[in-house]
Structure 1
């Protein structure tokens, strides 16, 4: 039996110029709802976004989600792990310290979250070095945070929180426990989850090119949909399989 985990941006939806500009394809919630049933609800999203963001885009579904790279987590039973107030305050302070750079460079975007903060430079790639320097300086007063690079984004997240740790936490709970984990992602921030899935006997699957710890690779978002459908079909065949009894009486 499988436990399936996916990233969101770049995996379930295409990456956009800004986080708010993504296009959620028609039928995505229905695809995910089918996956929930195919995998007996052992399906979760591990994302850099906040849980509230995922709920907004995938309404009316309320999935198990690890948000802000694991700083937030909603279990399959709906209970939430509380974010430590010191972490929230630290992320707010880091975001405030980045405001001066963002104000003088309006193509930079600060994405503040409960427990993490990201600065996107997709619309100003020439600012990458300046963003790195500003965030390194911001973290000098907040050693409980670490920097994590992504696709045209740099994120400050709490030390000890990552998608791999979130995957491991889910795998200790129902309905994930005892299953074989599969994690599908596209970014450098997904590498911890690739490794965690594989260390637990499962598989990491990376979209696109680039160096990775994942043992498998697929092409694009459309391939993710096809993969989920295929894995769901395998799960159904496994569930429906029954021994064939031949009547040999004469």
Structure 2
């Protein structure tokens, strides 16, 4: 574990830099708003019929698009009310510092949309030199983990920092740094893959989805080892229903896999009870913080999948979750809200 022996001024400076860079460096989405569909409601819709299921998927795809806001009061949150409930992380920085005094800060960072901007080509989601420099400085002071839906190897190639913990595939592929700052330097690094048995199935589904969706212009299928991502950021909206039907035609043959929704992406994952929240808990346990109160976790993310981690922090009553978002969202758990600036 990385020990944080810095004086308060250094600790404060590094944490401030981390929060400022991550919540400020992202390119703002188009000047529209954002709506979200209740996960419970979505699951209920999925159980009604094939037609209703398809419609629910398309509605969820629309909800993930920041360009899809309606001006009607029933679909838009009151901005002022939202800001009162979820104040800016930067404006609350002194309170965060006060709450963390005397405790070991542990940093958890999403990748896409948090450390890197959301881009049309997911293979080009590069983080800036400034961001990499900031993350490196943070990792020198606090244990730091990247928690992403991406394949762990791909995230590592983007970040290129060996001193971090990496949790890829929504936490289903976890690896600690090769060299850890403790007395037992020769021990094997922490590795955890709770869905290993699904690897052949995931590969099979990936190949089928590549073949099935090739007729939809702009669709991109990505193999993230323990999950498959179907990106529709470059797909015309009129083709979304067709794409959802293609995904459904493949997924219906695999009852051990489930569909989840991210930002302009459909995620096919194993049905095991594992997500970014579970990954956060596993990493805290690996770091020795499972049953103690002298640590302070900070999780920064922008996606629906990060809400599982926000909920864990809320339930534990420890640390802070910080949402990187320009617009209010309905289904969020214990987050601090910040408008990205550029």
TM range (shorter): 0.7 to 0.9
Corresponding position of 2:333: 213
- Once the 2 structures are TM-superposed, how far is the Cα of residue 164 of structure 1 from its aligned partner? 0.7
Contact 2:216–2:243 (CA under 8 A) maintained in structure 1: no
What CA deviation, in whole Å up to 9, does each residue of 1:119-170 have, x standing for no partner? Answer: 0000014233233332233222322221111111100112222101101111
What CA deviation, in whole Å up to 9, does each residue of 1:4-26 have, x standing for no partner? Answer: 21100000111110111223211
Corresponding position of 1:237: none
Q: Is the partner of 1:89 in helix, strand or coil?
A: helix
Corresponding position of 2:12: none
Q: Is the partner of 1:181 in helix, strand or coil?
A: strand
Distance 1:181 1:68, change over 3 A: same
- Once the 2 structures are TM-superposed, how far is the Cα of residue 65 of structure 1 from its aligned partner? 1.2
Corresponding position of 1:94: 205
Contact 1:14–1:221 (CA under 8 A) maintained in structure 2: no
Corresponding position of 1:187: 303
Contact 1:46–1:65 (CA under 8 A) maintained in structure 2: yes
Corresponding position of 1:6: 109
Distance 1:183 1:12, change over 3 A: same
Corresponding position of 1:36: 139
Query: Partners of 2:122 and 2:278 in 1: how far apart?
Result: 24
Query: Partners of 1:79 and 1:52 in 2: how far apart?
Result: 15
Q: Is the partner of 1:98 in helix, strand or coil?
A: helix
Contact 2:231–2:264 (CA under 8 A) maintained in structure 1: yes
Unmatched segments (≥5 aa) in structure 1: 223-250
Of residues 154, 157, 174, the one that matches 2:266 is: 154
Query: Partners of 2:316 and 2:217 in 1: how far apart?
Result: 43
- Once the 2 structures are TM-superposed, how far is the Cα of residue 176 of structure 1 from its aligned partner? 5.0
Greater strand share, structure number: 1
Task: Answer yes or no: is 1:64 the counterpart of 2:165.
Answer: yes
Distance 1:185 1:136, change over 3 A: same
Contact 1:97–1:138 (CA under 8 A) maintained in structure 2: yes
What CA deviation, in whole Å up to 9, does each residue of 1:75-118 have, x standing for no partner? Answer: 35533224644311111121122123322123100001211101
Contact 1:10–1:221 (CA under 8 A) maintained in structure 2: no
Query: Partners of 2:235 and 2:309 in 1: how far apart?
Result: 29
Of residues 273, 277, 284, the one that matches 1:171 is: 284
Query: Partners of 1:182 and 1:168 in 2: how far apart?
Result: 13
Task: Answer yes or no: is 1:136 the counterpart of 2:248.
Answer: yes
Query: Partners of 2:246 and 2:175 in 1: how far apart?
Result: 32
Q: Is the partner of 1:166 in helix, strand or coil?
A: helix
Q: Is the partner of 2:136 in helix, strand or coil?
A: helix
Corresponding position of 1:232: none
Please report the RMSD computed on the Cα atoms of aligned residues, expressed in angstroms. 2.0
Corresponding position of 2:151: 50
Query: Partners of 2:243 and 2:128 in 1: how far apart?
Result: 32
Distance 1:4 1:119, change over 3 A: same
Of residues 205, 221, 239, the one that matches 1:110 is: 221
How many equivalent pairs are there?
A: 220
The structure with higher relative contact order (CA 8 Å, sep 6+) is: 2
Distance 1:80 1:173, change over 3 A: closer
Corresponding position of 2:314: 198
